[in-house]
Amino acid sequence: MGWKEDNEQLIGWIKRSGCLRSEALEKAIRSTPRHLFVPKKLEAQAYVDDPLPIGEGQTISQPSTVSAMTEALDVRPGQKVLEIGTGSGWQAALLAKLAGREGFVWTIERFNSLAESAKRNLENAGIKNVKVILGDGSLGLKPNAPFDRIIVTAGCPDIPAPLLEQLKVGGKLVLPIGDLYTQQMFLIEKVREGSITRRGLGGFRFVPLVGKHGFDRER
């Protein structure tokens, strides 16, 4: 069985789990080979609904988790998207396809080895509307703000203030908030400057966001 068949089985599993409802996201997953974004030695596990190690103590998130977060983010064509925590680049690739040719994704990674690997992965997958940046994701990316959508793929002690500042009014931010070990996922919507709504999306476990507005250590 080839990767396309494996991917269809994965898509079916995620849909049955209730984490995939959007036709646009389903199309993005179907057209983005996940095996291009995992270490070569783990390619056989690329289409299993599990997180996989990618080096530097980091992981490529479980596909159903990626789907649930991306569904909540609700990226539309033409939007500017900021991702904190590039990892292997798979979620950035999905966001880029949802944003379309008129949209763009900036993604920040703090490990140089992962940033360089993600660049290669995205290039191999033919994704052109993504820029990978090395830096402290908790600071956001002020020169390119404001953003329509922001997603954080690492656990935060609270909402990083720069990310709220860089989110457009009417924009959406999805991030996990909690301690170093377990978090609650939240959808934050910026109603107006200084006013947000917050909706819980369930419990998750992510590696911590390390930085000025995150944790100051891994564990």
What is the C-alpha radius of gyration for the chain, rounded to an integer number of angstroms? 16
* Sheet with 130-134, side-by-side order of all strands: 130-134, 104-109, 80-84, 147-152, 167-178, 183-192, 195-204
By the 8 A CB rule, do 44 and 103 touch?
Answer: no
Q: Could you give the 3-state DSSP secondary structure of residue 209? A: coil
Q: What are phi and psi of 144, to 5 degrees?
A: -105, 0
Catalytic residue among 22, 31, 61, 67: 61
How far apart (Å, rounded) are the C-alpha atoms in residues 185 and 206? 10
By the 8 A CB rule, do 140 and 162 touch?
Answer: yes
22 catalytic per annotation: no
Catalytic amino acids?
61
